[in-house]
Amino acid sequence: MTNMTSTATTGTEQTTTPRHFDVIIIGTGSGNFIPNPAYHPVSIALIEEARFGGTCLNVGCIPTKMFVLAADAARNIREAARLGVHGTFDSVDLKQIQQRVFEKRVDPIADAGEAYRRGPKTPNIEVFDRHASFVGPRAIRTGQGEREEIITADNIILAAGSRAFIPPVVEESGVRYYTNKDIMRIEELPHEMIILGGGYIATEFAHVFSSFGVKVHVIVRSGAMLRGSDESISARFTEVASRDWDVHLNTTVTALSESDGTVTATLSDGTTLDADALLVATGRVPNGDRMNLAAGGVEMHADGRVKVDEFGRTTAEGVWALGDVSSPYQLKHIANHEAKVVFHNVLNQDNLRKFNHNYVPSAVFSHPQVGQVGMTEAEARAWAQANGTSITVKIQNIGDVAYGWALEDTDGFAKLIADRSTGRLLGAHFIGEQAATLVQQCIQMMNFDMDVREVVTGQHWIHPALPEVIENAILGLEFD
Ligand SMILES: Cc1cc2nc3c(=O)[nH]c(=O)nc-3n(C[C@H](O)[C@H](O)[C@H](O)COP(=O)(O)OP(=O)(O)OC[C@H]3O[C@@H](n4cnc5c(N)ncnc54)[C@H](O)[C@@H]3O)c2cc1C
């Protein structure tokens, strides 16, 4: 591998030969997942224009789930009286929550991660903190502080992630709006909040802020929330969430204005809504469009993702991509998996590994919680028709197994979809208590190609634990 040279550069114009690295990595989310010790002899330029550590750590999975924990606590206090436990929900100390999440936990990890990469323990890595964009094949313009520099590499790994999509009606209105990047650091809790979007980010924040006592209005373009989920899950989620939030389905915002800190949204049905905060959660855009990819010969799909093959190779030789910038799945566990594959492949180009995108699971940490893997019922029916087979479907209410009965749960259920002839699970969908955890057993069954008829009889199911809902759901499936 190439030795890192220290060719000097000055000012904004680079007159010297670009410094050359073995690998340039753009983005420090999953891009910072550099396997050790295989990469110790490799010279690496690691580029991050924002806070070190990426979306999941700083403004995504981790802080949102820490906010959800506080929201669940607030909700539990309010609902405890039904169990004969009396207490009152007084208020939420937003500053204390923010300190716990950011000052005490997340920020120190991000700072330590950056210090480590800049420090003596990784002498092969040089960190750059300016925006990276292509100036030619395997040539990147970036920099550190005031210094701008063009650097080159044998291999470039694009791990640049995604950003919140801002609809034109918001962008063009000029009103103050929040996204996942700044809503968790808001100065004080608003009284009312308008949330645009019906996906998992919108619904997690709706749960957080409504549990904190904020009146939440959710504006959803389609006829249901979580519309990518199985239709029964999406319908039940919409029904349950609508009890807590002011949900506007089949609705768009046609105009926005702001006066004295109040945002007024005009909706497509002609009505207006006032709130003191507007949160935009209408999907995520891959960041490839901001990197002058054409100069590097890197092509994108029409939807903005960088084109990659099953090994993570882009259309440009020596340029690789992983995670939200290229993946069809904008999920951290998938970005991590793709990072492992790409980091292996860059060093082992005669022994490439493939991405495994089989049975990609996901969860929604809202109220109620959702956990899901595999085909929806509609997808499974279409698949069965195309393959000349048939499916069996069982919806098992959580309230009908012992632990769910103790919870007095009336909303949650598991929906299992299996191939009638082979006993293989095609889809598993959970809504309610522990949904994100319950689904993991089904992920295992699918990945290890298990026949659910053997799964149900071949092990003991703890009584009275919630996995009994899976046991009962399997027992309710009908096979040929
Ligand atoms: C609110 C929220 C909650 C989420 N919750 C979950 C969850 O519960 N579970 C889950 O699986 N997923 C969740 N996700 C999705 C998850 O965060 C992403 O899938 C994951 O972080 C993507 O990782 P990545 O490495 O591809 O990109 P990122 O982590 O986004 O890293 C990309 C980095 O590249 C930097 N960068 C971009 N362009 C450039 C450039 N040109 N020059 C220099 N630097 C650049 C960015 O600043 C960023 O730090 C959530 C996302 C959000 C927004």
Reported as a single tens digit per residue, the pLDDT across 54-109 is: 999 999 999 999 999 999 999 999 999 999 999 999 999 999 999 999 999 999 99
370-374 and 284-286 as β-strands: parallel, antiparallel, unpaired?
unpaired
- State the CB neighbour count (10 A cutoff) for residue 274: 13
Residue 310 CA, ligand 1 centroid: distance in Å: 21
Residue 36 is predicted with a pLDDT of 81
Q: Tell me, yes or no, if 463 is annotated catalytic.
A: yes
How far does residue 55's CA lie from ligand 1's centre (Å)? 3
With a Cβ cut-off of 6 Å, ligand 1 is lined by 26-31, 47-50, 54-56, 60-61, 64, 131-133, 159-161, 180, 201, 287, 290-291, 323-325, 330-333, 335
Contact 34, 343 (CB under 8 A): yes
Query: What's the rounded Cα separation, in Å, for the pair 431 and 437?
Result: 11
The pTM of this model reads: 0.96
Task: Look at residue 1 in the predicted model and tell me its pLDDT.
Answer: 54
Task: Report the Cα 327 to chain-centroid distance in Å.
Answer: 12
Rounded Cα gap, residues 268 and 272, in angstroms:
9
Ligand 1 atom 52 nearest Cα: 60
Question: Is beta strand 192-196 parallel, antiparallel or unpaired with respect to 277-280?
Answer: parallel
In one-letter notation, the amino acid at residue 468 is E
Q: Regarding beta strands 125-128 and 319-321, do their DSSP bridges make them parallel or antiparallel, or are they unpaired?
A: unpaired
Q: Does position 289 have pLDDT exceeding 50, yes or no? A: yes
Residue 10 has pLDDT above 80, yes or no: no
Place of tokens 């983005």: 27
Express as a percent the part of the chain with pLDDT over 90.
96
Catalytic residue among 40, 191, 357, 463: 463
Across the chain, mean pLDDT equals 96
Which residue's C-alpha comes closest to atom 34 of ligand 1? 27
Residue bearing tokens 């028709």: 385
Residue 3 has pLDDT above 50, yes or no: no
Dihedral sign computed on CA atoms, order 212, 214, 215, 217: negative
pLDDT tens digits along 305-317: 999 999 999 999 9
- DSSP codes, 85-123: ---------HHHHHIIIIIIIIHHHHHHHHHHHHSTT-T
259 has which bridge partners? 262
Residue 13's pLDDT band (cuts 50, 70, 90): low
Which of 332, 340, 355 for a ligand 1 pocket mutation test, highest count of atoms within 8 Å of Cβ?
A: 332
Q: How far apart, in whole angstroms, are the C-alpha atoms of residue 78 and residue 12?
A: 58
How far, in Å, is the centroid of ligand 1 from the Cα of 409?
35
Torsion of Cα atoms, 309 then 315 then 319 then 320, to 10°: -20
pLDDT tier at 35 (50, 70, 90 boundaries)? confident
Give the single-character DSSP code of 42.
S
Helices and strands, number each (H, E), in the chain:
14, 21
What is the distance between the alpha carbons of residues 234 and 47, in angstroms, rounded to a whole number? 39
111-156 pLDDT, tens per residue?
999 999 999 999 999 999 999 999 999 999 999 999 999 999 999 9
Specify the residue with its C-alpha closest to ligand 1, atom 48.
Answer: 54
Residue 341 has a pLDDT of 98
Residue 296 near residue 318 (C-beta atoms within 8 A):
no
Which pLDDT belongs to residue 14?
61
Q: In angstroms, how far is CA 214 from the centroid of its own chain?
A: 24
Residue 371: half-sphere exposure toward Cβ, Cα within 13 Å: 19
Residue pLDDT, tens place only, 156-214: 999 999 999 999 999 999 999 999 999 999 999 999 999 999 999 999 999 999 999 99
Tell me what the mean pLDDT of segment 234-257 comes to.
98
* 306 strand-pairing partners: 300
